[in-house]
Amino acid sequence: GAAKGAESAAEDAGKVVESGTDSWNMVEGGGTINGREYSQHAMERMAPDTPQVRAELSRRAEKSATQRGLKVGTQEYYEYCKKYVDPRNIPPSVIEDAISSTKGIPGNRPDTFIHETADVKIVINSAGKVITVIPK
């Protein structure tokens, strides 16, 4: 079904990024890469910093800002969109390494755990779903 299609698309996206091309499939609603679930937010943050990715994130930011009732042309709208467009170029292999090589510590929200290396901070939930990724 559709879920399986989205899952394989996300897995393909992970493979594409790992091979170093500038294509990245940020599935709306999140996806699965190499058997691990990722939130939409995490996939948007992991994305490579390319013009194509920035264009897609800008489109999503404008849609999200409007849905939140922010008005085009206002400072709030501008700040929201600027903050939303933040691709950090962190491949799935770096995330998997951080999770497998460090002990998770409780996060600042219920049901979240932080895995930290010298390079990244990964926030996951108790099911292992990646919530966000933060470069250091």
CA-to-CA distance for 24 and 10, rounded, in angstroms?
9
Q: Are residues 44 and 93 in the same domain?
A: yes
For the chain, give the number of residues.
Answer: 136
What residue has token string 């933040």? 86
Please say whether the dihedral angle defined by the alpha carbons of residues 55, 61, 63 and 69, taken in this order, is positive or negative. Answer: negative
Q: Which domain covers residue 77, as residue numbers? A: 51-86
Q: Give phi and psi for 66, each to the nearest 5.
A: -65, -45
Low-confidence ranges of the chain (pLDDT < 70): 1-24
Q: Are residues 96 and 125 in the same domain?
A: yes
Residue whose token pair is 């594409």 = 16
Same domain, 59 and 70: yes
In this prediction, residue 71 carries a pLDDT of 97
44 and 94: one domain?
Answer: yes
**Whether the Cβ atoms of residue 122 and residue 95 lie closer than 8 Å to each other:** yes
Q: Can you tell me whether residue 114 is helix, strand or coil?
A: strand
Q: What is the pLDDT of residue 11?
A: 45
74 and 7 share a domain? no
pLDDT of residue 20: 41
Specify the number of domains making up the chain.
2
